[in-house]
Structure 1
Amino acid sequence: MNMHVNSIEAFLEALRQELEVPDHRYEQAERSYTSLGDWLHRESSTVQQYDPQVYCQGSFRLGTAIRPHTEAEEYDVDSVVELRLLTKRDKTQHELKAMLGAEIKAYHDAMGMLKPVREGNRCWILDYADGAQFHMDIVPAVPNPNQQISLLNSMYLDSRWASTAISITDRREPNYRILTDDWPRSNPKGYANWFASRQAEVFERRQRVALDSLRKQGLVTASVERLPAFKVKTPLQSAIMILKRHRDNMFARELDMRPISVIITTLAAHAYINQDTIAGALFAALNDMDKFIVQQGDRWIVANPTDALENFADKWNRDPKKKAAFDGWLRQARTDFYAAAQAGTFKDMADALNPRMGYALSMRVMDRLTGGSRLLRAATGASAAAAGTVAAPSFANAERRPSKPQGYA
């Protein structure tokens, strides 16, 4: 059997475009945490002396965010406020969180925001007006590079990403109100840098192409460095976006069993080897992502690439049903996207993916590809496929041995 490479790539590109977060949402989120940063640096700020830095983390930073199913749902913008001149010897987790919370509540009132500030276990939550369609989770943090580098080096683990490590607050921790060096660890900048390293070659090439196109249209005169990252979408980012929506729909009625995004993102990035098409990146992930799950005795490990002591799959070991759910999702994704790759028309591709990707989304993809023509929906695809084919991936039940994750020393 052959995979119709041209038509499936066109379909996946249109699917990615339908899932894409609009540029104005990225710009809106950036304005929001920039505004908060300005507030924290104002003259009367109680935290200004600690040099607060506000930055984005999570899927918005990685470029893998997807738009909600409906206009009634919200974007979740994750951010960090790192007080760069504060240490764990100066404040307890509780004191840091309370101090920053007071500033966030003052910001909320000064901006005339109506919905009350909420407190999460690790963060403060700002709910913006309904029209904004997003809320921002704000995690208080202090720098933690020296301790993290020392910890990893003492165990002969990779510390190359640890220069941006931070310590964060969590009210569930037993030492939350105790002055101690033992805080929860995180490193969103380090993870983003690792993720970028997995696709750097393709990203830089696409960035140059995008900038050249904008220059020819007379829209920009800036250097490559000034082109916002969200203006460029790599095959790896696109594949992850598509897999996340497939996962969301498959577990729409079992949210607690849904494989978490950081596992999908990490495993897909390990499997990615500079494929220049979405289909190439997607099928590399589907075929190989489980090879980077490490089994040690009866424990499953998906290590944080920037902190090998953090296991993203910890919940699998506490609840084996979550590991089974991931395995079931991966099998289903292989089945669905393999069937789409074999289809001769866009309609057949949509039919193969409808159960998990959603009928409405598939129809929007077809409208994007055919201009809304019902006749073209059924006919288009076969002629494009004739231009070139490649061997389809095989997902046979062969023995699969975990291998060393890419990006490790």
Structure 2
Amino acid sequence: MKDIFKDYVLQREELLARIAQELQLDKTRLERMETAYNAVAELLKKDDHFFDDLMIEIYAQGSKRIGTTVKPINEEDFDLDTVLHIYDPYHRHTPEEIYSALVNALEKDGYYRSIMEKKNRCVRLNYKSDFHMDILPACMPNSFEREIIKIPEKGLKNWSTANPKGFSNWFLNSANTVAEPLLKRNLEVLMKAQVETEQLPEEVYLKTPLQRATQLLKRYRDIYFQGKEYGVSSIVLTTLLGQLYRAENSIFETIDNIVKRIKDNYIDAINGGYRFKVFNPMNPEEEFTDSWTSKHYDAFYSFMVDFHGKWQNLKYSFETSKEDYIKLFGEGVYKKALNGQIVAFSKASNDAFAKASSLITIGAAFTDAQGNINSKEGVKNESHHNFGGKY
């Protein structure tokens, strides 16, 4: 059986997948969110005023829909973006009418009235269970198009066009162009090595390199822009990642290559005397960077340069990259993922440090008279989870 600790590339890839898994929203929270927007849909379907006899659907858009969720840092709420899709042509209504209909229907219920917050063109429900849900009302552009939507502009006077389902499909199609991801290629070996410990479900290895890369880059975005202005939106990062992905089969190469391409394209724009722009792949007329000032551009490029510099230190060994993992993803997340990896694979390894670290982590370590760590003889060690050492 392959020893993961003797294969640096595979070990690094598996660790990155574990880190991304630690960063994403857990299944319980995702189910709670689905329950929340399904409950709103049921409430609206029972409305005897505006929504009576109208076919509607509420669905998630953004990171939840494409599998790239990332937990907020500093105990902040997760922003769940949803669409209230009204299957009726927009020309039969005004933007203000559908917005007001949503507000009025929710206000009839005491619970929703107490947690509702009116935003420019959506309604926010502030749940106490660590997330809030933004509901954007939308209509059909005509009587037969069921994917593209018309949504209110911020002033509620005009309509704009969007296609969240189409964007999600575009991103996932790009993600699935990879033929055989590195972790899938080694899936049988990885799972066999974990038979006794069962530290990680198989799903960790089944997300695509592009999905994992998006999660990791978004996490450092959140860390980098803490307390700073001109942060880069998730839609800009996600679009760039999807556009510049070239079916790389590993998380590491996906990030390494795409960030370099972003930097190169940015410099080409500067040297060519034109503005670096990011357009909606499902609507070429919509520019996601149309409101960027020079300060936004400076912040964006500085972020990319900073990330790329730290990322290069992950190329060669864990001995030299520990601090960069911590800076990129956070100490707690890194150490939890690393501890899990060592415990999961130590029994299938001949690496003495990995075996000793695993015993210490799970509280099964003894130190004998010669100072050797083992599982049977000597003084019982206290378990801990904060080693960094060799890895």
The interval holding the TM-score normalised by the smaller chain is 0.7 to 0.9
Query: What is the identity, as a one-letter code, of the residue corresponding to 1:357?
Result: F
Kindly indicate whether residue 303 of structure 2 is the aligned counterpart of residue 299 of structure 1. no
Q: Which residue of 1 aligns with 2:140?
A: 143
Unmatched 5+ residue regions in structure 1? Answer: 148-161, 215-228, 381-409
In the alignment, the residues of structure 2 paired with residue 171 and residue 375 of structure 1 have an alpha-carbon distance, to the nearest angstrom, of: 48
- The percent identity for this pair of structures is 25
Q: Which residue of 2 aligns with 1:284?
A: 257
Q: Which residue of 2 aligns with 1:188?
A: 164
Given that 1:11 and 1:365 are in contact with CA atoms closer than 8 Å, whether structure 2 keeps it comes out as yes
Q: Which residue of 1 aligns with 2:390?
A: 379
Q: Which residue of 1 aligns with 2:367?
A: none
Q: How does 1:9-408 map to 2 (within 5 A)?
A: 9-42=13-46, 44=48, 46-70=50-74, 72-85=75-88, 87-107=89-109, 109=110, 112-113=111-112, 115-128=114-127, 130=128, 132-144=129-141, 164-172=147-155, 176-177=156-157, 182-202=158-178, 232-254=206-228, 256-290=229-263, 295=269, 297-316=273-292, 319-345=293-319, 348-371=320-343, 372=361, 377-380=388-391
How far off is 1:356 after superposition? 4.0
Query: What is the identity, as a one-letter code, of the residue corresponding to 1:79?
Result: T
Query: What is the identity, as a one-letter code, of the residue corresponding to 2:207?
Result: K
- Between Structure 1 and Structure 2, whose CA radius of gyration is higher? 2
How far off is 1:94 after superposition? 1.0
Query: What is the identity, as a one-letter code, of the residue corresponding to 1:90?
Result: R
How far off is 1:280 after superposition? 2.2
In the alignment, the residues of structure 2 paired with residue 200 and residue 7 of structure 1 have an alpha-carbon distance, to the nearest angstrom, of: 23
The alignment yields a C-alpha RMSD, in angstroms, of 3.2
Given that 1:165 and 1:190 are in contact with CA atoms closer than 8 Å, whether structure 2 keeps it comes out as yes
TM-score of the two chains, using structure 2 as the length reference: 0.75
CA displacement 1:216-264 (0-9 Å, x = unmatched):
xxxxxxxxxxxxx99952211111111011111111011x311111111
After superposing the two structures, state which structure 1 stretch, 198-207 or 29-38, moved more: 198-207
Aligned partner of residue 55 in structure 1, secondary structure: strand
Indicate how the Cα distance of structure 1 residues 43 and 14 shifts in structure 2: closer, same or farther if over 3 A, else same: closer
In the alignment, the residues of structure 1 paired with residue 289 and residue 311 of structure 2 have an alpha-carbon distance, to the nearest angstrom, of: 25
How far off is 1:301 after superposition? 1.5
TM-score of the two chains, using structure 1 as the length reference: 0.72
CA displacement 1:180-218 (0-9 Å, x = unmatched):
xx51221111111111110234499999x99xx99xxxx
How far off is 1:60 after superposition? 0.9
Query: What is the identity, as a one-letter code, of the residue corresponding to 1:106?
Result: K
In the alignment, the residues of structure 2 paired with residue 315 and residue 290 of structure 1 have an alpha-carbon distance, to the nearest angstrom, of: 20
Given that 1:125 and 1:136 are in contact with CA atoms closer than 8 Å, whether structure 2 keeps it comes out as yes
Indicate how the Cα distance of structure 1 residues 375 and 261 shifts in structure 2: closer, same or farther if over 3 A, else same: closer
How far off is 1:297 after superposition? 5.0
Query: What is the identity, as a one-letter code, of the residue corresponding to 1:367?
Result: N
In the alignment, the residues of structure 1 paired with residue 97 and residue 273 of structure 2 have an alpha-carbon distance, to the nearest angstrom, of: 41
How far off is 1:45 after superposition? 5.4
Given that 1:124 and 1:137 are in contact with CA atoms closer than 8 Å, whether structure 2 keeps it comes out as yes
Indicate how the Cα distance of structure 1 residues 56 and 203 shifts in structure 2: closer, same or farther if over 3 A, else same: farther
Query: What is the identity, as a one-letter code, of the residue corresponding to 1:69?
Result: I
Q: Which residue of 2 aligns with 1:402?
A: none
Given that 1:267 and 1:292 are in contact with CA atoms closer than 8 Å, whether structure 2 keeps it comes out as no
